[in-house]
Structure 1
Amino acid sequence: MTGLLAGKRILVTGVITETSIAFHIAKIAQEQGAQVVLTGFGRLSLVNRIAQRLPEPPPVVELDVTDQDQLGMLADRVREHADGLDGVVHSIAGAPASCWGDFMGAPWPDISASLQVSAYSLNALAVAVLPLLSPGASIVGLDFDARVAWPDYDWMGVAKAALESVNRYLARDLGGRGVRTNLVASGPLRTIAAKSIPGFAEMESDWDKRAPLGWDASDPTGAAKTVCALLSDWLPATTGSMVWADGGVHAIGQ
């Protein structure tokens, strides 16, 4: 089999629907020759049904990143389908409704939950799969540029800033094992998660106007291909980085 990811064993988290960025990552990874295993949270029957729509329906392993028992069993569950991993995709984020649109009023328990799910989980996932990672393996997380404060993004923006910091520290600690860890910062995409963001429609419209390359919020292909590039062997000296797949908005002043 040929392709950018030929022979690679890739674990992809966060597939919920066909609009999920993770779904498109899994699809492109398979088209590029990878063996894919998915993780699912909550409605596993739904994830299994969505998995059937991939070019080669992959196995689905249950994973709640806030459940230490499931994290502890993850490596053994993945071993039932793959004898190791060359790549891991972290496509996990979430925050209670109070964390959006009211930065000053969100309660700590909700903020804490958003930080655990959206930032700490990158470290938790890396630790859980560490026994499976081959030298040269690549961990890639999905980000939304947290260098600035976005309207209504509030505590999710803080969580993404924490995610970016976790990524840097993981790069430091995993580099000696030959493992790379990076983030892909996409522009706004129409996913289920995006529907919970106040003002998303306005952000989407403005993004297309500002992006030098233009921006189609209904097409996650650019972000998915960028993730697959980082999963490949073609960026062997890149780690601790945030790679933009946003049409160029990050480079343009207000």
Structure 2
Amino acid sequence: MGILEGKKLLVTGVTMDNSIGFAVARTAQNEGAEVVVSNFGRALGITRRIVNRLPKEASVIELDVTDEQHLADLSNQLQDSLGGLDGIFHSIAYGNPETILGGRFVGAPWEDVSQAVQVSAYSLMSLANAARPLLGRGSSVVGMTFDATVAWPAYDWMGVAKAGLESCARYLARDLGPDGIRVNLVSAGPLKTLAAKAIPGFEDLEALWNDRAPLGWDEKDNEPTARAAAALLSDYFPATTGEIVHVDGGYHAMGA
């Protein structure tokens, strides 16, 4: 029996089969969970095709975390699709690569910065709040970050958005904790996903990991990250919340 046997999960951020969200959905199903995945707009059609590559059938719902009506309808959609909810995997982020990434920190326009913060950080709260009527004691919310304690090459305002996400997770852990709902993040090393390819200069980050991660790092292997997320979504961490679990080959712990 898998560690997620009987769990009902919403997995966001499933676009391609190299998406972290796809890896989490696959791992969750292999561990016994029933999964619904989400996307929106033009990517929704791609997601509906990609889910056919999962080990088991998964429903797809449309969810734009900046659309108030989508959020208002979410609880009912999940009730119809799953009959309940035990956990959420948040893998949602966006920053305009032409204006706020790739060395464009100074002078970046506020409208693009605010969009990145809303989509990448605020959405953790808005998503959890929208699904809250279905989340009971023992439920888990897990999100993805990229270590926001330092400044990285090329990451710029997305780094600021991730810092906001990490702070948001701590406050959300505080406010949802009395209801028995845990909120944690996974901080992964650089992975070759569709989102990473859109960041100018992201290959500079990959080179850093090859030199300094004591366990080594394979930027094409998202399975370790997916396993960490699945563990946090399970009942194996009943007293852990507000935490950031690093899955980066040990890079974060090294000095020069």
TM-score of the superposition, structure 1-length normalised?
0.98
1:12 aligns with 2:11: yes
Equivalent position to 1:220, from 204, 219, 222: 222
Contact 2:153-2:204 at 8 Å conserved across structures: no
CA distance, structure 2, for counterparts of residue 139 and residue 202 of structure 1: 31
Q: Counterparts of 1:86-97 in structure 2 under 5 Å?
A: 86-97=86-97
Whole-Å separation in 2 of the counterparts to 1:206 and 1:161: 20
The number of residues matched between the two structures is 253
1:26 Cα deviation from its structure 2 partner: 0.3
CA contact (8 A) 1:185 1:242 kept: yes
1:170 aligned counterpart, secondary structure: helix
Q: Distance in 1 between matches of 2:151 and 2:203?
A: 17
SS at match of 2:82: coil
Counterparts of 1:208 and 1:227 in 2: how far apart (Å)?
23
Which residue in 2 is equivalent to 1:81? Answer: 81
Taking the TM superposition and a 5 Å limit, the aligned residue runs for 1:20-169 are 20-43=19-42, 44-97=44-97, 98-100=99-101, 101-169=103-171
Deviation at 1:152, TM superposition (A): 1.5
Q: How many Å separate the matches in 1 of 2:191 and 2:25?
A: 17
The DSSP-based 3-state class of the residue aligned with 1:17 is coil
C-alpha deviation, 1:198, in angstroms: 2.0
Given that residues 84 and 134 in structure 1 are in contact (C-alpha distance below 8 angstroms), is that contact kept between their aligned partners in structure 2?
A: no
TM-score (norm 2): 0.97
Rounded to whole Å, the distance in 2 between the matches of 1:57 and 1:211 is: 37
Match of 1:207 among 202, 206, 209: 209
Secondary structure (helix, strand or coil) at the match of 2:35 reads strand
Question: Structure 1 stretch 38-47 or stretch 50-59: which is displaced more?
Answer: 38-47
Q: Unaligned 5+ residue runs, structure 2?
A: none
Report sequence identity in percent. 56
Separation in 2, partners of 1:208, 1:23: 25
Give the unaligned 5+ runs of structure 1. none
**Deviation per CA, 1:204-224, whole angstroms, max 9, x where unpaired?**
122022101000000001111
Q: Distance in 1 between matches of 2:233 and 2:130?
A: 18
CA contact (8 A) 1:83 1:132 kept: no
